[in-house]
Amino acid sequence: MRIGMAFGDVRGRAPLTEITRQIQEAAGVGAAWVSHGLGWDALTTLAVAGPAAPGIELGTAVVPFPQRHPLVLAAQALTVQAAVGNRLTLGIGAGIGRMVSSMYGLPTDRPARRLREYLEVLRPLLRGEPVDHHGEYYTAAGSIDLPGVEAPPVLIAALGPAMLKVAGELADGTITWMTGPRTLANHVVPSITRASGSRTPRIVAGLAVCLTSAEDAVRPRLAKEFALAKQVPEYRAMFDREGVDGPADVLIVGDEDSVAKQLDRIGDTGVTDLMLAPVGTAEEQDRTTAFLSTVVR
């Protein structure tokens, strides 16, 4: 199981220089994933901060696609791919439905059907192939031809059965967030593996982690910081599958020995990657980062 770390909005507000420092200090891990929330643009952040961590994979986790036409996203992703020396993995997702509709006024019905058509346009564009698509949701005619740029792998933020099916059939794998070990083992891994057929999908499990001796104080803080997740239907369904109340119950937290055992448990679910987001105070985050770098080595 490969271990990567998450950066960006998921770890709290920080200037771009601080995100770059964090990625540079974690350069020993397998991958640096940048989240895309209400602040920094994930792809642009990777183009700026990625060179600070040479030799490791750089991924988005994830870029919402509804507000980005496939031609626009393909051009941006391939430009970033060129800037980071073909180390990009493009993670995309439908976004949180309530935010997409309220902030952008865009429809959010039939997300799996929209995703399927989007991928049918995006993947050829990433390979430099021309498209002439006039579908139910998208019209796209053109191509993106950038010399020396490889098509990045594409992972999908997929939690429900329909989205996992599309991810297995048309993408290279999935990225989850705040999904516990029971749900990973019994739902996510078998669902996308079945949909992938003879291919082996990449399954990236994203979880918050905090190395601390004050576990009882950390869980309430996380519950408050991520309280909105309990009201998001997509995440609520995963918490219900796991049999937990909310984000604090799937947090990886404790001392070195406890955190290591929890990481092993996630590894036993069949996921291929961990995307760990250090949370807590600045001191706790630095301690967690140092420990995770040691685990990887």
What is the domain partition of the chain in residue ranges?
Answer: 2-296
pTM equals 0.95
- Amino acid 165: pLDDT: 98
- Amino acid 246: pLDDT: 94
b/e string for 140-151 if b means 16 or more Cβ within 10 A? beeebeeeebbb
Tell whether the model's pLDDT for residue 152 goes beyond 90.
yes
- Amino acid 297: pLDDT: 65
User: What mean pLDDT, rounded, does the chain reach?
Assistant: 93
Tell whether the model's pLDDT for residue 146 goes beyond 70.
yes
User: Which fold would CATH assign to domain 2-296?
Assistant: TIM Barrel (3.20.20)
**Other beta carbons within 10 Å of 268:** 12
- Amino acid 216: pLDDT: 87
SS3 state of residue 189:
helix
Tell whether the model's pLDDT for residue 12 goes beyond 90.
no
pLDDT in tens, 202-247: 999 999 999 998 888 888 988 888 888 888 888 999 999 999 999 9
Average pLDDT for 61-89: 97
Average pLDDT for 176-187: 97
pLDDT in tens, 38-66: 789 999 999 999 988 898 999 999 999 99
- Which residues, in sequence order, are bridge partners of residue 253? 210
Tell whether the model's pLDDT for residue 28 goes beyond 80.
no
Residue with the larger pLDDT of the pair 221 and 74: 74
Average pLDDT for 13-42: 87
